[in-house]
């Protein structure tokens, strides 16, 4: 059957989400009998009793939440952001519950973009093609230099702004490089957005994973940026709830109103049980999450220490987030081929850098214990030796 005439060509021309391709291939390799290392991009903690009990009770209730989200969910989000960022949000007007962070991004761009609108995206970056381009939008990638630790070049960003530029994708900590934007950088970005009347799409999915004594800063806390910022956060990482698919968008009421209508045309509303569980996570004891960032920092230090000793590969030490972006340009294979060898021959799951606009790299999660990470380092050494370098 030739189904081409029935399909949305723009969507079909977009790649699959890189991480999902990796997960699919990982399952195939595992099913074939290869031991694949369990490297995760999110905290692995058993959910405490108060969250499980709240979900259990909710599962017995035939409830359809409002399109904006459960009032108690939106109130809990507003209270958490007030405590963290000292911003005042009306739960009924400034918060929207979504089915995960990717859904939040999809609803946001579906609501905002007209054909020809441009979205400025510093790269390497998260997967956005399949969201923005099928809508007729254009992603303007602005490459940040590895030699400068992927620091954002704001002059270069400004040079890429045109009359069609509508949004700046503001991801911090940056997926995949682990760059964390400072408060001064965010102020300068806010000034840039104000000068050119741009929206800031602030994806802060890894806000709790910041290392070396640093702290997360949000554009949503800056008075100049707040009226033009849509803040997206996910419970996958902040509360170790990857399977629950809960996130939110917070921002100006006029935009949240429009996003709510957009969400209604995609899913009508979010899942009741999942939002109840998220409320319990926000309002309940937080001690079960103690030490998550410290554990990820230790994991980062272990794996980056190995990479730093291996002359054939390299990586900028991430300051935040759960990934290390490994430069494999000295190896004798493309990054796609390196990723395939790592997974199929050595059981190390990585995502080829072309999906993240860093084509000479592979992205590897480092959420794991010492034993798994030590084994990862050993397998990486054997893999690099098996592949060989360009000078061999």
Q: How many CB atoms lie within 10 A of CB 11?
A: 13
Q: How far is CA 120 from CA 33, 58, 167, in A?
A: 43, 41, 6
Q: Note whether 193 and 265 are same-domain residues.
A: yes
**CATH number, position 299:** 3.90.1150.10
**Taking CA 375 as the corner, what is the angle to CA 372 and CA 376, rounded to the nearest 5 degrees?**
85
Tokens of 339: 């990723």
Is the CB of residue 180 less than 8 Å from the CB of residue 296?
Answer: no
Contacts of 78 (CB under 8 A, 6+ apart): 89, 90, 91, 94, 95, 250
- For the chain, 392 residues long, give each residue's pLDDT as a single digit of tens: 677 778 888 878 877 787 777 888 888 878 888 899 999 999 989 999 999 999 999 999 988 999 999 999 999 999 999 999 999 999 999 999 999 999 999 999 999 999 999 999 999 999 999 999 999 999 999 999 999 999 999 999 999 999 999 999 999 999 999 999 999 999 999 999 999 999 999 999 999 999 999 999 999 999 999 999 999 999 998 899 999 999 999 999 999 999 999 999 999 999 999 999 999 999 999 999 999 999 999 999 999 999 999 889 999 999 999 999 999 999 999 999 999 999 999 999 999 999 999 999 999 999 999 999 999 999 999 999 999 987 65
Tokens of 214: 């640093």
* Residue 76 covered by a domain: yes
Q: DSSP secondary-structure letter at 197?
A: T
Q: Note whether 356 and 334 are same-domain residues.
A: yes
**Taking CA 341 as the corner, what is the angle to CA 337 and CA 345, rounded to the nearest 5 degrees?**
165
* Residue 11 covered by a domain: no
pTM of the complete model beyond 0.85: yes
What are 174's strand-pairing partners? none
Closest CA to 183 of 219, 149, 154: 219
Tokens of 369: 């214990």
**Cα Rg, the chain, nearest whole Å:** 21
Is the CB of residue 328 less than 8 Å from the CB of residue 301?
Answer: no
Last residue of a domain, one of 249, 265, 284: 284
Tokens of 65: 């939440």
Tokens of 60: 């017995």
* Residue 371 covered by a domain: yes
- Total domains, the chain: 2
Q: N- to C-terminal Cα distance for the chain? A: 48
- DSSP per-residue codes, 355-385: GGT-TTEEEEE-BS-HHHHHHHHHHHHHHHH
Q: Note whether 151 and 233 are same-domain residues.
A: yes
Is the CB of residue 371 less than 8 Å from the CB of residue 46?
Answer: no
* Residue 324 covered by a domain: yes
* Residue 141 covered by a domain: yes
Provide the residue range defining the domain that includes 356: 18-45+290-387
């Amino acid at each position: 059957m030739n189904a081409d005439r029935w399909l949305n060509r723009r969507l079909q021309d977009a790649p699959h989400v890189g991480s999902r391709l990796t997960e699919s291939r990982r399952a195939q390799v595992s099913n074939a009998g290869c031991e694949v290392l369990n490297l995760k991009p999110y905290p692995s903690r058993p959910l405490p009793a108060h969250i499980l009990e709240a979900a259990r009770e909710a599962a017995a209730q035939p409830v359809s939440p409002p399109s904006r989200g459960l009032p108690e969910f939106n109130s809990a989000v507003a209270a958490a952001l007030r405590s963290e960022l000292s911003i005042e949000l009306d739960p009924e007007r400034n918060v929207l519950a979504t089915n995960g962070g990717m859904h939040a991004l999809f609803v946001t761009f579906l609501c905002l973009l007209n054909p020809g609108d441009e979205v400025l995206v510093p790269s390497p970056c998260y997967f956005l093609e399949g969201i923005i381009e099928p809508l007729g939008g254009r992603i303007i990638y602005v490459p940040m230099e590895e030699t400068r630790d992927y620091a954002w070049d704001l002059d270069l960003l400004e040079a890429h702004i045109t009359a069609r530029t509508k949004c700046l994708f503001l991801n911090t900590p940056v997926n995949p490089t682990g760059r964390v934007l400072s408060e001064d950088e965010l102020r300068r970005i806010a000034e840039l957005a104000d000068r050119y009347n741009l929206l800031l799409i602030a994806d802060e999915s890894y806000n709790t994973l910041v290392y070396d004594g640093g702290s997360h800063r949000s554009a949503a806390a800056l008075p100049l940026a707040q009226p033009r910022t849509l803040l997206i956060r996910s419970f996958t990482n902040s509360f170790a709830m990857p399977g629950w698919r809960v996130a939110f968008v917070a921002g100006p009421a006029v935009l949240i109103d429009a996003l709510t209508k957009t969400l209604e045309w995609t899913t009508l509303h979010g899942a009741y049980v999942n939002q109840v569980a998220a409320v319990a996570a926000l309002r309940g004891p937080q001690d079960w999450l103690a030490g998550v960032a410290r554990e990820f920092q230790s994991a980062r230090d272990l794996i980056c220490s190995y990479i730093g000793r291996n002359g054939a590969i390299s990586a900028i030490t991430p300051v935040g987030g759960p990934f290390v972006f490994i430069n494999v340009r000295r190896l004798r294979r493309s990054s796609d081929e390196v990723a395939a060898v790592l997974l199929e021959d050595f059981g190390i799951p990585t995502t080829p850098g072309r999906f993240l606009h860093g084509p000479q790299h592979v992205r590897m999660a480092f959420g794991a214990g010492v034993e798994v990470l030590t084994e990862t380092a050993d397998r990486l050494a054997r893999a690099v030796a098996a592949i060989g370098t360009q000078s061999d």
